[in-house]
A and B are shown apart, each in its own frame.
Chain A
Amino acid sequence: MLSLKLHSSALTMMLAAALMLGGCQALDSQPEPSLYQQLGERAGIADVVEDLLYLIVEDERINHQFKGIDVVQFHRNLTDQLCQLSGGPCTYTGREMRELHADMAITNTQFNALAENLILAMEENNIPTGAQNRLIKQLLPLYPDIRNL
């Protein structure tokens, strides 16, 4: 019934060829825009952070952790932080991350909820998948500070 007789060696070559083609295309095309540009520079990042704040307010898993914050200041600080992390010309002037989260006892569930909302906010703003991945990669080193590990 099935005639899918692919030889593993042929398959390996096909995969290798596909990967090499992908690599060559990347070399041929124009220099990749910086992450900061892909995020829409500071204005684009500010839009993502605004949508993130709306999602946080609606999210029962984490909204209690944000009660009583100065929303305008939070928006400015997080925008500056993401701008700086993505290579933009901004300077984060908020408190140090570990100190900021020290008394919040943030669980993995809450961390995941925030990560989910950030991804959704980026999707709402049509940030390409590759740029989303690059930004999250830049944010990973903050994980132990935020979780207070």
Chain B
Amino acid sequence: MRNWPLVSLVAALLAAPAAIADIGSRIWGTGGVTTIEGSAGGGLVPWALLGSYASDEEWGGTLAISRAKVDDYSLSVTGAGLNWNNRIELTVAQQTLDLDSLVFTLKDSFGLEQDELRQNIFGAKVRLAGDVLYSPWGQWSAGVQHKRLQDFTVPGAIGARDDSGTDVYVSGSKLFFAALMVRNLLVNLTARSTRANQGGLLGFGGDRNNSYELMMEGSVGLFLNRQWLVGAEYRQKPDNLGFAAEDHWWDLFVAWVPDRRLAVTAALVNLGDVATLEDQQGLYLSLQGSF
């Protein structure tokens, strides 16, 4: 279990409220959770919200571990983030994709012996304007995610052009009070320019398309109360590789935020066809600690 140090750290942070009493001042649930790429958002889609609960005179941070298990793959993510004055968010994330069934395809078709793919993601997001709760036009942020694969053998063999790439995105988030069944409705829209194949785990650019394309991503979530958020996400994807078609992603999620220190997210995810293996569906679970 390579995640144990991080689990222990999260546990220590949660168990020491007296030592770190200055958790941020933003209202519960407005820190979002940690996406699979480290940026604050939902599970698959970054939002305009910045991680942790730091408000305009405060620092904050997050640590997260996440795992997605779909039919033929499993993805593990560890992530950490810092937030300065609810203005700038800096994040790092490491993704490890266990190839499970794809190992056989790679061996038979390409003679490759590899059972996992790893990627590091360095993210920065700046809040440009507005506040998700208080501004009539919501909160607007822009961000980058610089992604670096640790081993390019498999992505290169299936037609990817580069082992690193940088996604650029603009995101808007707005909470509508008492909007649906007198519950608060959170709406997010993100436009991302990217060359990443399957988020980057299959490299960047490809034989079918090698240039940046604009992808739309969206989420809606309903706060049942201030501790429970249920919703759905959709993420449009490029289709750069002739080797296998790439589908859009979507999920249905429920997040439990008992207080500012802890967020637990569970989701049903549908990644569509991934590298020749069809209809990848499964469960996603994420644990986030904030300080």
Residues in A lying within 8 Å of B, measured CB to CB:
1-2, 4-6, 8, 11, 15, 22, 26, 61, 107-109, 111-113, 115-116, 119, 129-131, 133-134, 136-137, 140, 143
Main secondary structure of the interface of A (DSSP, over half): helix
CB distance from A115 to the nearest CB of B (A): 6
Q: Is the CB of B268 within 8 A of A129?
A: no
Bound Cα distance from A112 to B26, whole angstroms: 6
Interface residues on B, range: 20 to 34
Q: Is the CB of B55 within 8 A of A8?
A: no
CB distance from A37 to the nearest CB of B (A): 14
Bound Cα distance from A140 to B136, whole angstroms: 9
CB distance from A111 to the nearest CB of B (A): 7
Which among A15, A61, A109, A136 is the interface contact of B177 at CB below 8 angstroms? A136
Q: Is the CB of A133 within 8 A of B178?
A: yes
CB distance from A23 to the nearest CB of B (A): 8
Q: Is the CB of A107 within 8 A of B177?
A: no
How many residue-residue contacts, CB under 8 A, span A and B? Answer: 74
Q: Is the CB of A109 within 8 A of B25?
A: yes
Confirm or deny: B57 has a beta carbon within 8 angstroms of a beta carbon on chain A: yes
Confirm or deny: B225 has a beta carbon within 8 angstroms of a beta carbon on chain A: yes
Q: Is the CB of A112 within 8 A of B25?
A: yes
Residues in B lying within 8 Å of A, measured CB to CB:
25-28, 55-58, 69-71, 86, 131, 133-134, 177-178, 181-184, 224-226, 232, 250, 252, 268, 270, 279, 281-283
A109 to B, closest residue via Cβ:
B55
Q: Is the CB of A5 within 8 A of B281?
A: yes
Shortest beta-carbon contacts, A-B, top 6: A130-B182, A137-B177, A109-B55, A133-B178, A108-B56, A112-B25
Q: Is the CB of B26 within 8 A of A133?
A: no
Q: Is the CB of B282 within 8 A of A133?
A: no
Q: Please, could you name 25 A-B residue pairs with CB atoms under 8 Å apart, sorted by A? A: A1-B69, A1-B71, A2-B70, A4-B282, A4-B283, A8-B270, A11-B252, A61-B25, A107-B56, A109-B25, A109-B57, A109-B58, A111-B134, A112-B26, A112-B27, A119-B27, A119-B226, A129-B183, A129-B224, A129-B226, A130-B183, A134-B178, A136-B177, A140-B134, A140-B177
Q: Is the CB of A2 within 8 A of B283?
A: yes
B226 to A, closest residue via Cβ:
A119
- Contacts A2-B282, A4-B282, A108-B57 aside, 15 further interface pairs with beta carbons under 8 A come to A2-B69, A6-B268, A61-B25, A108-B56, A108-B86, A109-B25, A112-B27, A112-B55, A129-B226, A131-B182, A133-B183, A134-B178, A137-B178, A140-B134, A140-B177
Q: Given A4-B281, A108-B55, A108-B131 in contact, is the A115-B27 Cβ separation under 8 Å? A: yes
Measured between beta carbons, the chain B residues less than 8 angstroms from A6 are: 268, 281
Bound Cα distance from A38 to B279, whole angstroms: 48
Bound Cα distance from A137 to B178, whole angstroms: 7
Q: Is the CB of B183 within 8 A of A143?
A: no
Measured between beta carbons, the chain A residues less than 8 angstroms from B70 are: 2
Measured between beta carbons, the chain A residues less than 8 angstroms from B58 are: 109
CB distance from B131 to the nearest CB of A (A): 7
Q: Is the CB of B57 within 8 A of A107?
A: yes
Bound Cα distance from A74 to B28, whole angstroms: 27
Bound Cα distance from A1 to B183, whole angstroms: 36
CB distance from B135 to the nearest CB of A (A): 8
Most buried by A among B57, B133, B134, B279: B134
